[in-house]
Amino acid sequence: MTSPVEFWFDFSSPYAYFAAVEIDERLGRFGKPVVWRPFLLGVAFRRTGIGPVNQIPMRGEYAIHDCHRIAATLDIPFRLRADFPFPSQALARAFYWFDARNPELAIDFAMAAFETYFGQGLALADAESVIALAARFTDQFELVSEWLACDEARLVLRKRTMEALDKGVFGSPFVLVGDEPFWGWDRLPMVEAWLEQSAKPDATGTGLSGEGAPPRSTSKSIAGTVVAKGWSRN
């Protein structure tokens, strides 16, 4: 089976919102499933020492301006609430409730969450608002409510977040193609190029393997470029 592309994100990330709008359309043509994986960016911040971009002097003002510009380019609504960045635990836990039952429905829920918070400017930090959103996708919203309050939901999200860190995920959005990392919405064209290169026949004419990619020397330079630029895409 073709290995999936992993799409890691935090629901409080505007750049994740932009990536969510585009990722399936951009990458769907390669025939590789895209697995959506919310995690807690704040935990990664504690590991890296980086903080929310809007709290960084000068860069924060630029990032907010940049988000409005990107949204205009993509022709999608964008509103940044005063509570940004908001605690996204409830949304992420609800996502994994849906994901355990129907991954496609979980993606629909995630898109609705992004559109509600960043598109409409409505609050989603508390469990009540998340349950109300979940009710649009299931008549078992009472089970969602019970799930959000249980220890298992906390454990699932904690494990996913630790998995993200173990895989080197430090920002949102973050895409993994095999073990090749791409950080940021603006790296989606590079992901496309990487997958196109991976699909080309190799010197023997047999094509690259499922985890195939350009030589690791190229891989390292690309990954290094992402980190070296030091742009905050959280």
Q: What gap in Å lies between CA 58 and CA 56, rounded to an integer? A: 6
Could you give the dihedral angle defined by the CA atoms of residues 29, 173, 19 and 13, in that order, rounded to the nearest 10 degrees? 160
pLDDT, tens digit, for every residue of 143-155? 999 999 999 999 9
pLDDT, tens digit, for every residue of 92-133? 999 999 999 999 999 999 999 999 999 999 999 999 999 999
Side chain identity at 117, as an amino acid letter?
Y
**Where are the domains positioned within the chain?**
5-229
* Largest separation between any pair of C-alpha atoms in the chain: 57
pLDDT, tens digit, for every residue of 41-90? 999 999 888 888 878 888 889 999 999 999 999 999 999 999 999 999 99
H/E stretch holding 146: helix 141-148
pLDDT, tens digit, for every residue of 197-219? 988 776 444 444 444 444 433 33
Topology of the domain comprising 5-229: Glutaredoxin (3.40.30)
- Token pair recorded at residue 13: 């990330």
Q: What gap in Å lies between CA 168 and CA 88, rounded to an integer? A: 21
H/E stretch holding 183: strand 180-183
For the question of whether the overall pTM of this predicted structure is more than 0.75, the answer is yes
With a cut of 80, say whether residue 171 has pLDDT above it. yes
Look at residue 61 and give its three-state secondary structure: helix
* Backbone φ and ψ of 35, nearest 5°: -95, 120
Using the 8-state DSSP alphabet, how is residue 81 labeled?
A: -
